[in-house]
Amino acid sequence: MRTSWRADSPAAAAVDGALFRLVLPALAGAAAAWVLWRVAADAGPLPRRIVVGALPVYLGLWLATVALHAVRWRMVLRRLGTDLPLVRLARLWLAGRAVGSVVPSGTLGGEPVRVRLLTASGMPAASAAGAVALDRSLELAGNMIVGPLCIGGALALGAGSGIALTIAAVGGLVGFALLLAIWVHGMRGDPVLRILATPPAYLLPRRWRTRVLAEATRTDGALHAVLVAHPGLVPAGVALSLVIEALHLVELAALFAVFAIAVPLPMLLLSSMGIGIAHAVPVTAALGTLEATQVGLFTVGGEPIATGLAVAVAVRLAETLAILTGLACLATAPGRRRR
């Protein structure tokens, strides 16, 4: 009797099992989103036709931001001599971001996953690690530029005048200055990463400290080689990161429209910044921090607490669906280790 190839394939069985484990949370998330959307559509201030029309717009914008993340990553990979299909890179990026969200690491836990998936695609481990690190640095550069701009724009538009917002803006500018210093010294070949890694490394045991400093030295050399060979990579990557950040704002506005939440521009800027802050906190899936950040910012901005709670629920649902999508990409990713 002939049997299906899937029944005889351990890899296919593992994929089927992983996908099956995603079915229940995916259905639960979809059901919760539908219920909340119906309630918001019936009670919200926006016309129902706008709410209904915002859903495909939001999904299209979300796909566009994922595609741009993949484009930036492919730009880095091509400079290192590797070219992968854009769709595969988008899936790998979603998988890494999902793991980074679930692991309490400020989304950094997904970077080793991206490295592992790149090596499974045939890229040398050292080059894969360098490509992921450089792509992440370009993303952080965009965050550091847009963060203070969002805060400054919100303050200029009258969304509160608290000292905390000013301190956050100064912190973002300091972070951007640090990234700029790394780029300048990297172009010169200075051991900037080893210098930055040395003080915290003394908090580690000796054998770990030696390995960390040695890795920082190797990374300094690789960074200098890439920057010298491709001097236009960082400016182009930062420019693309700024485009992604701008698109994120429009995507966020479409998300709020899906749930019939009317959010003024100043609060939209603060909400976007709050999402970034919540993701930087090493908490699993930003549970609690994402909601608390949104409620706190909307309260500081003078909005009713009910608006902050509604925004928090909408952002949480979008985050959950994004994580489930990324985990599905991870479950079906080529080269993933099977048990």
Could you tell me where the DSSP H helices lie in 230-304? 233-258, 265-280, 289-300
Does the pLDDT of residue 334 top 60, yes or no?
yes
- Whether 1 is in a domain gets the answer no
CB atoms within 10 A of CB 53: 14
Using CB atoms within 10 Å of the CB of residue 192, give its burial: 0 to 12 exposed, 13 to 18 middle, 19+ buried. Answer: buried
> What per-residue confidence (pLDDT) applies to 6?
43
Q: How many domains does the chain have?
A: 1
Displacement of CA 298 from its chain's centroid (Å):
22
- Whether 339 is in a domain gets the answer no
- Whether 272 is in a domain gets the answer yes
- Give the helix, strand, coil percentages of the chain, each rounded to 5: 80, 0, 20
- Whether 4 is in a domain gets the answer no
- Whether 69 is in a domain gets the answer yes
338 vs 108, more confident: 108
> What per-residue confidence (pLDDT) applies to 7?
44
Q: Which amino acid is at 151?
A: I
Does the pLDDT of residue 174 top 80, yes or no?
no
Structural domain harbouring 181: 11-331
- Whether 173 is in a domain gets the answer yes
* Residue 106 Ramachandran class (φ > 0 left, ψ -120 to 50 alpha, else beta): left
Sequence-distant (≥ 6) Cβ neighbours of residue 310 within 8 angstroms: 40, 259, 261
> What per-residue confidence (pLDDT) applies to 9?
45
Tokens of 116: 């592992």
> What per-residue confidence (pLDDT) applies to 333?
77
Of all residues in the chain, the percent with pLDDT exceeding 70 is 76
Displacement of CA 296 from its chain's centroid (Å):
22
Does the pLDDT of residue 273 top 80, yes or no?
yes
Are 311 and 298 within 8 A, CB to CB? yes
- Whether 3 is in a domain gets the answer no
Full-model pTM:
0.76
Tokens of 77: 């990979």
pLDDT tens, 28-75? 555 655 555 555 555 455 555 556 678 889 999 999 999 999 999 999
CB atoms within 10 A of CB 239: 13
Closest CA to 277 of 146, 163, 153: 146
| Span 189-210, average pLDDT | 76
